[in-house]
Amino acid sequence: MIATGTRAPGFALPDQDGDVVSLAGLSGRTVVLVFYPGDFSPVCTEQLSLYEERLSELRARGVELYGVSVDSAYCHAAFRRHLDVSIPLLADFHPKGEVARAFGVYSDEYGVAGRALVAIGPDGVVCWTHRSPSPLEIPGPELVIDALGGSDGHC
C-alpha cells in the first residue's frame, strides 16, 4: 500500500455519470479515496451506506469521499441509485485496476481493489491510509473522522 508522505499518483477516472474526475482537479482539497472490491456485494453496500450516513459531517470538516472500484461507470450509476447515495463513484475499469495498482491496493488474486482508505491532503500528498485486514471488515467512517481530526479535516 502507498506510504504516507508520498505524492499521490495522478489519475483521471470517469464517475458514475461519465464525467472525468482527476487528482489534479481535486487539488487544494482533502480527499479520501475509498477503494472497495465491487458494487452490489453485501459488505460494499453496507460500507457505502455507513459513509453516506456520516457524509454531511465529513463534508463539514472539508473532507470529500470518492469510492473507487473496478466496476464500470454504468454499474456505479445503478449502484448509487440502488443505495440512494451521493458519494461519487469512480470507475477504475480500463485498464482494469490501474489506479488501485498505483496506490498499492489491487488484489491480483481476486482481480479487484482491496478494501482500503487513502487520504490525500490539499497538497497532493498521502497523509493517512488504512487497509482492512479482511475484505469482510468494514473500515467505519469514524476511522476517517478520527484520523483527519480537528474541524478542518486536514491531515
**In this structure, is residue 154 part of a structural domain?**
no
Whichever domain contains 125, its CATH number is: 3.40.30.10
pLDDT tens for the chain, residues 1 to 155: 999 999 999 999 999 999 999 999 999 999 999 999 999 999 999 999 999 999 999 998 889 999 999 999 999 999 999 999 999 999 999 999 999 999 999 999 999 999 999 999 999 999 999 999 988 899 888 888 888 865 555 66
| Count of structural domains within the chain | 1
Structural domain containing residue 50: 12-148
- CB atoms under 10 Å from CB of 84, counted, come to 8
Examine residue 101 and state whether it is found in any structural domain, yes or no.
yes
Q: Are 155 and 127 in contact (CB under 8 A)?
A: yes
Cross-strand bridge partners of residue 113: 106
Q: Which residue out of 44, 75, 127, 155 is catalytically annotated?
A: 44
Q: What is the pLDDT of residue 140?
A: 87
Q: Does residue 155 fall inside a structural domain?
A: no
44 is catalytic: yes
Q: What pLDDT does residue 134 have?
A: 86
Whether residue 31 is contained in a domain is answered as yes
Q: Which pLDDT belongs to residue 153?
A: 57
- 7 is a domain residue: no
Q: Burial-class residue 41 by CB neighbours within 10 Å (0-12, 13-18, 19+).
A: middle
